[in-house]
Every structure is written in structure tokens, then in C-alpha cells.
């Protein structure tokens, strides 16, 4: 058993993955806090920890507080939780390290670059973790925590991490939304979504092997006005998708023109 | 050697993949036409075929004409190439089977659902091919051609194929553009693009294992206004990306709200 004891604040997708992994790595999780007691209890029971749903119940005795709440809840924590002298770490990609300034002078960040869904199991060891510390002396402890979870640990300041998080929103959340629209369109055609599987996997593989701008295909990059028009027409029933189609297609063309100027 | 002789019209990404695969499957490729003779010659030399760049030079003696040109070039072909009694097949996802009506009464479609880049080698056998024939008697020949390339051959009429192509544009071209933007943002942060690799692969895997709408994560689906605002601010230098960010984020929220109503 590891000597560092941890309290988790949050019971969402990130906590559901990091909590059990930390326990497996030998850390002792003493409490799980969530404003929703049921959620706290569900995760706490997997970690042999005590669930709490009042910030006043959060013990001041742990070594380390890992805050995995969404940003408006983070602000409430910052207001109400005083843990002076304790190391308080949040996991938010876009949250500055100063976010929990009011909680403690010892602050850190542990940002996993991954999309966590509670129901989808995941191997953490290859996930990049970006760490930061407000106090240089705490960096080894944060690094140790990250290294217990993953082989890929990088230091990054708050500005760099915010930029990485923004890139991740495009590469993951927005990509997934393109899949959601494609899935709805396939349903309209009465064809199973997974007929697109090879195409999706190959698109990702090509982008990583070469560079996305080099391997773009399709009507927009071919400036194929006839197909662009006919596809916009197919989307007549959904103005939001039409707008997205139009904006992305013209941005594909703009970036391609810029690229050719530079080549 | 197969008894069917083929003439390829086009020397782009699709032709560069299908041509060699057909030759390998034993088909004889007699000519490669491209308006650009150099491009025709480059592909023809790999296929032991004769390159031509004038439609008048296209021999009327082949059994089958495979047209892999972009849509405006297809229209020119339809105007100028008369191949009555010959089977003329195009590969365009959004092109109706009537597109080459003027060329011949025997028309077909062979649409590979994949993104082809000349420089990226690819195994065709798992790629879905959608076929269609204007004449029922030709369907077996078109099916044989498709089956020589892939194990996954489906029949689809023009309307269904257009809808599949539209879905593919979202699932592949637009996804790739999200990667292109992510790549540019990572470059700004001075972090290698492939740090996003695990995230990208996992995003695609999750969407296929479950359903994209079920596994969406990120600030938009959390209705995390603070992060949405701060990310829009980071994009201040690029109004096109700001617009894309805003439109996709609000569409993620709209589809999530619709989904919850239905759940």
C-alpha cells in the first residue's frame, strides 16, 4: 500500500477511470465527494472509500485532493474548501492552475488527454498526462502520481495545456459529432453505421501517418461544385447541418489554398 | 488472364488504387485516359497499358469502361464519348447512374466507400463497394468486378448511394478537417500532432463500439459555458474556426437535448 492518501472530489467520467486506476496502483482513497450522494456512493464502493456529499464532510487529513468536477463546480470548491498546506490537484484541460488558488498554496494539475466514457473500459498506460505544479517541490509527487497511471507524462504550463485541450476538442469531441451526424444520415438510408468503420479507421490512420492537410479528399478539396450543391440539397431538412456543411467545406478550401501558396 | 478487357478513364486517387488492383486480379487494362498525358502515362506504365489524353483516341474495342473522373470531367465524357453497346461504369458516390446516359445504354456504378490518397497504400479487400446497374443482365459482371477487389459488395440505388456518400463526407472528409485544425493548434503550442493519436483512435473506437451520441464528451455536451467561452477566446485570431467551433458546439447541445427527450 502506498503511503499517500487521496480524496477524490467528483464522480463523473474522469473519476470513474482514474479512481480505480489509482487504487490499483496502491494509493489509498479515503473519501469520494460528489454533490450527488448516490453517485459518490457508487464510485466509493468500488474504492473502499467513504462517500460524502457535503464539502464540510471532506476530511482535512488526506495528503492529496484530486478534483475532477466540471468548471462551475470547481468554482464552488475554490470558494468553500480550505485545505491550507495540502496538495490540491485538478484534472481540467482548460482550467488554469490558479483555479483553486483559494483552497491551498500547493496546487497542481494532472490533465489526461483522453475521452472518458463511464461505460467504456480503458487502458490508461499509453494516455498522455500533462502535469503542472504551483510549487516546484511538489512536482515530483505529481509526477509520481501521473507515472502510476501512465508511461507518458509531460510537463505543460496552463497556456500550453489550454491550447492542447482546444486541439483535443476538435480532434475528439467535434470528430465524434461528425460521426453522430454521419450515423443519423446512414440511419436515414437504412444502412448500418458500421459500414463506415473501415473509412473512419483509415481516415484517422492516414491523418496520423502523413498529415491531415496532405491527405484530404472529397468534394470540397476537389472544388467539385456540383457535388457540394447536391449534398447541400440533401441536407435541406436540417439547417444546422447545412450550415456546418457549408462552413467546414469552405474552410477546407481556404486551408488548401493557403497550403498551396506555401508549397 | 481474365477475358474482360478494361479501359480506365481517370488517373487520380481512385484510379491509382483500383487500376493496379484490377490488374492484379487478372483483368487486362488496355488504355488509361487522362486529359493530362503525363498523369495518364504514369499510371499506364504500372498497368502495361497505353496512355491517351484525347477522348477520340479511346478505343471502342474494350469490354468495359471504368470512369474515375471528377464530376465536371464526367459531364464532358458524357457529351463526347459514344460507346453504344459497351458497359460504362463510374465510381462517383454522388453521381446518379444516369450521369453517363449519353455514352451507352449499359451503365453501371462501382462506388468504393473509402478515402484514397495516392501516396498511402491500401488493402481493398475489406472496403465496402456499392454497385448498381442500369441493365439487370449486367449486374453479375459488375458484381464480379467488385468481388475481384473486395469481399464486401452491396447493391444500392443512386438515392441510397448519395446518402451514403454524404454520410462519408461527414465521417471522413470533415473528420479529417477537424484533425487539420487540431494539428494547426498543436503546432501553435509546439507539441507534436501525434500526442493526440491515442485520443483520436479511442474516439473512433468508442463511436463504433457504442454510438457517437452515447459517448460524446467535452465542454459542449457538459454545457460548460465557462470553457466554451474561454476556448472561443483562444480562437480569436481565426474567425472561420470560431464560427465552426460555435456551430458544432451548439449542434452537439441540440442533438443531446433531442436525445434526452427521446430517452
Classified as helix, coil or strand, A111 is: strand
Mean pLDDT of A96-110: 93
CA-wise closest residue to B7 among B61, B53, B56: B61
In terms of CA atoms, which chain A residue is nearest residue B206?
A120
Please report, to the nearest 10 degrees, the dihedral formed by the alpha carbons of residues A58, A61, A65, A67 taken in order.
0
Chain B: residue nearest A254 by CA? B240
Structure confidence at residue B172 as a pLDDT band (50, 70, 90): very high
Closest partner residue to B180 (CB to CB) among A71, A235, A255 is: A255
Q: At what angle do helices A175-188 and B197-209 cross, to 10 degrees?
A: 30
CA of A99 vs chain B CAs: smallest distance (Å):
12
Chain B, nearest residue to A192 by Cα:
B164
- CA A127, A166, B259, A252 dihedral sign is negative
- Asked if pLDDT for residue B167 goes beyond 80, the answer is yes
pLDDT at B2 > cutoff 80: no
What's the predicted TM-score (pTM) here? Answer: 0.94
Q: A174-201, pLDDT tens digit by residue?
A: 999 999 999 999 999 999 999 999 999 9
For A236, the 3-state DSSP assignment is coil
Is residue A32 over pLDDT 90?
yes
Quote the cell numbers at residue A153.
Answer: 507524462
Interface test with A, best of B99, B116, B182 (most A CBs within 10 A): B182
Phi-psi map region of B54: left, alpha, beta (phi>0 left; psi -120 to 50 alpha): beta
CA distance A44 to A131: 25
Per-residue pLDDT, B1 = 59
User: Which residues, listed in sequence order, are joined to residue B5 by a DSSP beta bridge?
Assistant: B28
Could you read off the pLDDT of A238-247 as tens digits, one per residue? Answer: 999 999 999 9
- Which tens digits make up the pLDDT trace of A119-155? 888 899 999 999 999 999 999 999 999 999 999 999 9
Q: How far is CA A127 from CA A107, B68, B171, B180, in A?
A: 22, 41, 24, 21
Q: What confidence category does residue A1 fall into, taking pLDDT thresholds of 50, 70 and 90?
A: low
| Interface subset of B 21-60, CB within 8 angstroms of A | none
A125 in B contact zone (CB under 8 Å) = no
Residue B41 C-alpha cell reads as: 502515362
ipTM summary value: 0.94
Does the structure show a pLDDT above 90 at A78?
Answer: no
- Cβ contact A251–B244 (<8 Å): yes
Inform me whether the C-beta atom of residue A194 falls under 8 Å from chain B C-beta atoms.
yes
Task: Please count the other Cβ atoms lying within 10 Å of the Cβ belonging to residue B90.
Answer: 28
Contact B210 A120 (CB under 8 A): yes
On the CB side of A23, how many CA atoms lie within 13 Å of its CA? 18
For residue A168, the distance in angstroms to the closest alpha carbon of chain B comes to 7
Name the residue with higher pLDDT: B72 or A79: A79
Option in A199, A219, A245 nearest B114 (CB): A199
The separation between CA A40 and the C-alpha centre of its own chain, rounded to angstroms, equals: 21
The grid coordinates listed for A174 are 467535434
A200·B204 Cβ contact <8 A: yes
A58/B53 Cα distance (integer angstroms): 77
Q: What does the mean pLDDT of chain A come to?
A: 94
Taking contacts as CB-CB distances below 8 angstroms, the residues of chain A near B222 are 70
Q: How far is A152 from chain B (nearest CA, A)?
A: 10
Amino acid at each position: 500500500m502506498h503511503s499517500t492518501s487521496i480524496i477524490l472530489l467528483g464522480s463523473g467520467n474522469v473519476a470513474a477511470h482514474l479512481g480505480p486506476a489509482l487504487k490499483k496502483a496502491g494509493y489509498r482513497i479515503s473519501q469520494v465527494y460528489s454533490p450527488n450522494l448516490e453517485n459518490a456512493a457508487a464510485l466509493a464502493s468500488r474504492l473502499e472509500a467513504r462517500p460524502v456529499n457535503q464539502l464540510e464532510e471532506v476530511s482535512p487529513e488526506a495528503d492529496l485532493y484530486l478534483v475532477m468536477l466540471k468548471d462551475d463546480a470547481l468554482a464552488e470548491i475554490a470558494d468553500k474548501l480550505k485545505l491550507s498546506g495540502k496538495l490540491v490537484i485538478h484534472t481540467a484541460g482548460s482550467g488554469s492552475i490558479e483555479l483553486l488558488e483559494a483552497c491551498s498554496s500547493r496546487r497542481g494539475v494532472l490533465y489526461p488527454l483522453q475521452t472518458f466514457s463511464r461505460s467504456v473500459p480503458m487502458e490508461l498506460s499509453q494516455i498522455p498526462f500533462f502535469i503542472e505544479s504551483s510549487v516546484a517541490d511538489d512536482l515530483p509527487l505529481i509526477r509520481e502520481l501521473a507515472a502510476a497511471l501512465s508511461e507518458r507524462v509531460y510537463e505543460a504550463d496552463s497556456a500550453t495545456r489550454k491550447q492542447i485541450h482546444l486541439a483535443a476538442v476538435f480532434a475528439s469531441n467535434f470528430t465524434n459529432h461528425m460521426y453522430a451526424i454521419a450515423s443519423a444520415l446512414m440511419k436515414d438510408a437504412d444502412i448500418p453505421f458500421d459500414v463506415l468503420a473501415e473509412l473512419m479507421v483509415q481516415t484517422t490512420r492516414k491523418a496520423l501517418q502523413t498529415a491531415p492537410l496532405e491527405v484530404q479528399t472529397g468534394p470540397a478539396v476537389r472544388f467539385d461544385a456540383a457535388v457540394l450543391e447536391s449534398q447541400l440539397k440533401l441536407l435541406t431538412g436540417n439547417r444546422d447541418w447545412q450550415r456546418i456543411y457549408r462552413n467546414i467545406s469552405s474552410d477546407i478550401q481556404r486551408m488548401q489554398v493557403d497550403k498551396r501558396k506555401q508549397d
